[in-house]
């Protein structure tokens, strides 16, 4: 049985997020929400926030950000929620519907056939 130690990864993750393990239940960030930076990184900013702002100069999905930061998706969502609340990033959420829009399905098909 291992005792929690300072090198345990979860501790590092808690530090990154100020102790939170999940974003609020109303967190709108889907895996494929596209995130776009609305400002430049500033001195003194948390390094993960800097990395996100650099990465999202072009639209970048939440899952890509998580992979690049090598952080679990839930932790990445918390970091993004903070940046979003501060107006530093904007979010382009997927157009979710109970049933997919037939026009979107057609666009997906056309896009795939053109591959």
Partner 1 sequence: MDSATSDVRTPLGASADNGLKIVVVGGFGVGKTTLVRSVSEIRPLNTEETMTQAGEAVDDISEVRGKTATTVAFDFGRISLDARNVLYLFGAPGQERFWFLWDRLFSGTLGAVVLVDTRRIDDSWYAIDRLEHHGTPFIVACNDFGGPQHSPAAVRDALDLDPQVPLVSCDARSRESSKQVLIALVEHLQAYYAGQAARPRQEFV
Residue 3 within binding range of partner 1, rule CB under 8 A: no
* Binds partner 1 by CB under 8 A, chosen from 39, 40, 47, 73: 73
Residue 4 or 43 having the CB closest to partner 1? 4
Residues that contact partner 1, how many (by CB under 8 A): 40
- Torsion angles phi and psi, residue 18, rounded to 5: 65, 30
| CB of 16 vs partner 1, minimal distance in Å | 13
- Is 92 an interacting residue with respect to partner 1 (CB under 8 A)? yes
Residue 27 engages partner 1 in binding (rule: CB under 8 A)? no
Pairing of strands 34-37, 60-61: antiparallel
Residue 61 · residue 22 · CB < 8 Å: no
Q: Copy the structure tokens of residue 86.
A: 């501060």
Q: At what angle do helices 62-69 and 73-85 cross, to 10 degrees?
A: 110
CB atoms closer than 10 angstroms to residue 88: 20
Beta-carbon contacts of residue 24 (< 8 Å; ≥ 6 apart)? 81
55 binds partner 1 (CB under 8 A): yes
- Contact call for residue 38 and partner 1 (CB under 8 A): no
Binding site for partner 1 (CB under 8 A): 21, 30-34, 54-55, 57-61, 63-64, 66-68, 70, 72-74, 92, 94-96, 99-100, 102, 104-113, 115
């Amino acid at each position: 049985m291992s005792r929690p130690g300072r090198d345990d990864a979860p501790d590092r993750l808690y530090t990154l997020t100020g102790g939170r393990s999940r974003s609020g239940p109303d967190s709108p960030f889907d895996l494929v929400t596209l995130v776009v930076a609305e400002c430049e990184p500033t001195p003194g900013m948390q390094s993960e926030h800097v990395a996100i702002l650099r990465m999202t100069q072009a639209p970048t999905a939440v899952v890509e950000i998580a992979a690049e930061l090598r952080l679990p998706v839930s932790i990445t969502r918390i970091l993004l929620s903070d940046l979003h609340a501060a107006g530093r990033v904007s979010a382009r959420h997927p157009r979710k519907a109970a049933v997919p829009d037939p026009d979107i399905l057609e666009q997906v098909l056309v896009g795939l056939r053109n591959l």
